[in-house]
Structure formats: C-alpha cells, structure tokens
Amino acid sequence: MIELDGLTKRFGNKVAVDHLSCRVRPGMVTGFLGPNGAGKSTTMRMMLDLDNPTSGTVRIDGRHYRDLQEPLKHIGALLDAKSMHGGRSAYNNLLCLAQSNSIPASRVSHVLDTVGLSAVAKKKSKGFSLGMGQRLGIAAALLGDPEILMFDEPVNGLDPEGIHWIRNLMKTLAAEGRTIFVSSHLMSEMALTADHLIVIGQGKLLADTSMADFIHKNSRSFVRMRSPEQERLRDLLHAEGVVAVEAGNGTLEIDGEEPERLGELAGRHGIVLHELSAQRASLEEAFMQMTAGSVEYHAHSDRDGAPPPQAGPQWGEQWNQQRPGDTAGDRTTGV
C-alpha cells in the first residue's frame, strides 16, 4: 500500500505536482496516467525519496521511504531504462544493488533469468538496447522480491513480444497480492493492464477510479450506419423518432439504439445498407477530453510569449503521432 497525502512539488514557479492525495492498493495493477509532463515521474521520484516534496508526505506500508530497512525488499522500482553503470556487467550491476540490501547473490541470477537476460549477464550493460536496458531495470526492481513494484513507462523501447511479456508479468505479480503501480501516457496500454486508474494532469488528480467504472462512464456506445440511399435512411430514422448524427464520409451515428432494430427497420423499407456496426468510442478520447484543460495550460506555460494555442486538439494530434503500432484488442475506434 502506498499513500500519498497532499503531495506537492514546485520547481521555482512551476507546480509539477499539486496536492496529490491517493492510495495505491495491493492485489491489483494501478495505472498512473497522464499526458507527458503531467508530473508522473516527479511523483514517482518523490515516492522513492529521490526528490524532496515541497509539502505533503508519501508513506510506504505506513512508513517513510527513508525509514525502510532494506528498501529493495519492500519496494522495487523501474525509473529510467538507463540507470545502470554501462561499464559494469548486468550481473555486477545487480550484484552491488543486492549486496547493499543484504539480498543473497542467488537472487541476481534468478531475476536475470526471469527477465530473459541470463545469456548476456556477463556483458557490459552499455551495449544493451533500450529494450534490454528496460529488462535489466525490471530485474533490479524484482531483486528484493518486494511487495510493491513501481514501473515508470515500462513498455518504452520494448518490442511487441516484450510488451506482451511485461503486461503478463504485471498481472501475475498483482495476482500474487502485490501492489503494482505503473505509469503511462497511453490510455490504450492502461486499458489492457490496469484494474484501477489514477489520472493526473498538470500535477492535479483528475480521476481515481476503477478501470471498469472509467470504461462504463467514458465509453459511448453507438451504432454506425452507411447507405447509398442516405437521404431516405435519414428520413426513415427521423420518422421513427431515432436521432441520427451525420459523421462525415456518408456515415450516420445513432446513440442508444440496438443494431438489430435498426437493421430490421432498414430491411422492412428496402434500404440497402453498406455498413451496420456497433461501435464504442475510444478510451483515449475520454482520456484526452479529461486532460485537455490541464494540457492546454501546460503547453501555454511551456512556450512563453507564444499565443495561447488550441491545445486540446493540437495535443491530440501529437498524441496520435506518438502512438506506436497500437493493438486495439477488444476495442473498436469510433473516429
């Protein structure tokens, strides 16, 4: 269990984390979500006592990090992929960490095996790819077999196989009753792994909710229809009291109706349909709407003197560019 209470961090005039209070509970994966620059990494560094909070506290199992005896046995963290000495072998990098917390050397080989780096254990870590560095960082986090694990953007630099592996690893660890806290700026990634969501923007808490609740509240279900006889279809729907919204590309979107009923309706009147599909609006959209305000302020404060940008949609564009070959899973995108 991690408890944040009024956690605040200022860098000069800029407030990076603003009175953040929340709990991270055991036995589940808690996603820590926010756009780039929202304060996720700063928050995580404060949790590990690397950065001093301006005010507020963090408690790990009721204690301050600094008061933990052998902290690696309580909480393991992956912050940066490159946080090891490149001139030292993977094995030795982990060995010196293990020794500082009186962890037996046998654990080093064990965690290297877990993350699949046994073959390169004796290699200097500066030759590692980003993905291998990420795995080494994860091995370091697992070293003390801790009850709490924290991962900052763990999928960065991993290939699809690696992403799949880390997702399963987090779920397995959570199923063992551990507390898993994982940050991401990708809603799609969170939707696949997290049971609970903590969303921040501009350092402020925007949402602290279960994933199921978030999906329920934020995913709009609708039916999409496309027909060569669009005018007739519209008139028909109107006559039946169904509200259809034109969505461009000759498609209509209908809220609150079952596709079966709409299909039968069109069939009875002999209207040809090219598409009839149930759709769910993406969670990314919901996430972007939620954080748009905070992002707007952030983008503005970043560029001093620049005219206030139309940051909501602008940020969305950036976000789309950043999105890797995204596997949508069971979700379809309505845009």
Partner 1 sequence: MASVPAVLNSEWTKIRTVSSTTWTLICAFLVTVAMGAALSALLNSQFDDLSAAEQATFDPTFVSFSGMVLGQLAMVVFGVLVVGTEYSSGMIRTSLAAVPQRGSFLFSKIAVAGVLALVVGLATSFVTFFLSQALLGDRGTDIGAENVLRAVVGGGLYMGLIAVFSMGVATMLRSSMLSLGILMPFFFLVSQILSAVPGAKSVARYFPDQAGSKILQVVPDAMNSDPAPYGPWAGLGIMALWVVAALIGGYLVLKKRDA
Task: Give dist(CA 243, CA 255) in Å, integer.
Answer: 7
Residues 36-55 that bind partner 1 (CB under 8 A): 45, 48-52
Nearer to partner 1, 81 or 194 (CB): 81
Q: Is the Cβ of residue 99 or residue 277 nearer to partner 1 in the bound state?
A: 99
Are 49 and 43 a contacting pair, CB within 8 Å?
no
Q: How far is the CB of 96 from partner 1 (least distance, A)?
A: 4
Minimum distance of partner 1 from residue 137's CB (angstroms): 8
Q: Which of these ranges, 78-86, 184-192, 205-213, 306-314, lies near partner 1 under the rule CB under 8 A?
A: 78-86
Contact 280, 219 (CB under 8 A): yes
Q: Which of residues 136-195 bind partner 1 (CB under 8 A)?
A: 140
Nearer to partner 1 among residue 49 and residue 61 (C-beta): 49
Regarding 83 and contact with partner 1 (CB under 8 A), the answer is yes
Rounded Cα distance, 149 and 241, in Å: 53
Out of 1, 6, 63, 96, name the contact with partner 1 by CB under 8 A: 96
Residue 282's Cα: distance from chain center in Å?
Answer: 14
Contact indicator for 7, 19 with CB cutoff of 8 Å: yes
Shortest CB 304 distance to partner 1, Å = 24
Q: Rounded CA gap, 202 and 38, in Å? A: 5
Instruction: Map the footprint of partner 1 across residues 57-76, applying CB under 8 A.
Output: 65-66, 68-72
Give 72 or 158: the residue with its C-beta nearer to partner 1. 72
13 in contact with partner 1 (CB under 8 A): no
Q: What does residue 320 show for φ and ψ, rounded to 5 degrees?
A: -65, -35
Question: What are the tokens at 37?
Answer: 């620059």
Residue range at the interface with partner 1 (CB under 8 A); choices 23-31, 86-94, 199-207, 265-273: 86-94
316, 320, 322, 327 alpha-carbon torsion, rounded to 10°: 130
**From 10, 19, 23, 82, residue interacting with partner 1 (rule: CB under 8 A):** 82
Choose one: 94-102, 202-210, 248-256, 260-268; the region binding partner 1 (CB under 8 A).
94-102
Candidate residues 1, 21, 57, 80; the one interacting with partner 1 per rule CB under 8 A: 80
Residue 212 touching partner 1 (CB under 8 A): no
Min dist. Cβ of residue 75 to partner 1 (A): 8
**Cβ 92 to partner 1, closest distance in Å?**
4
Nearer to partner 1, 131 or 263 (CB): 131
The residues of the shown chain that bind partner 1, judged by CB under 8 A, are 45, 48-52, 65-66, 68-72, 77, 79-80, 82-89, 92-93, 95-102, 140
